[in-house]
């Protein structure tokens, strides 16, 4: 099971929240069940990329249960990659993938405007 929790810190009432994402929705829901997060908190497509916003106390439990800690920037890059390719891909190269994707788009746009 590959589940990720980012280091975002967003206030929600008296709680501080972060994101929890996973390679598959089945893995995401299994971890949510394991750490005691109700399914009603799932933020689902098409309105959102599939994830849960979880309190930091739940984050600690998720990490203890095997979730991988990532940055909020990695989380955003991984979500973008899933929207484009259908997969989160490895967290280690998420930022490089995103930069390459933007560079390729810029190059294609410039090439198109020259012709």
State both tokens at 67. Answer: 């979730």
pLDDT score recorded for residue 110: 85
Q: Is the pLDDT of residue 89 over 90?
A: yes
pLDDT at 112 over 80: no
- Domain spans, the chain: 3-114
Tokens representing 114 are 């020259």
* pLDDT band at residue 1 under the 50/70/90 scheme: low
The pLDDT of residue 114: 54
Q: What is the pLDDT of residues 36-77, one digit of tens each?
A: 999 999 999 889 999 999 999 999 999 999 999 999 999 999
How far apart (Å, rounded) are the C-alpha atoms in residues 3 and 29?
10
Token digits of residue 51: 């994830």
pLDDT of residue 109: 86
61: Cβ contacts below 8 Å, ≥ 6 apart: 35, 36
Which tops the pLDDT comparison, 115 or 82?
A: 82
pLDDT bin (cut points 50, 70, 90) of residue 24 is: very high
Arithmetic mean of pLDDT, 30-35? 98
């Amino acid at each position: 099971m590959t589940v990720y929790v980012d280091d975002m810190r967003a206030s929600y009432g008296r709680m501080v929240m972060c994101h929890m994402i996973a390679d598959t929705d089945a893995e995401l829901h299994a971890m949510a069940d394991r750490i005691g997060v109700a399914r009603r908190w799932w933020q689902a497509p098409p309105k959102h990329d599939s994830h849960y916003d979880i309190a930091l106390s739940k984050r600690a439990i998720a990490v203890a249960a095997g979730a991988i800690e990532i940055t909020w920037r990695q989380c955003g890059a991984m979500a973008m990659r899933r929207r484009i390719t259908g997969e989160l891909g490895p967290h280690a190269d998420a930022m490089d993938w995103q930069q390459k994707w933007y560079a390729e788009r810029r190059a294609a746009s410039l090439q198109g405007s020259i012709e």
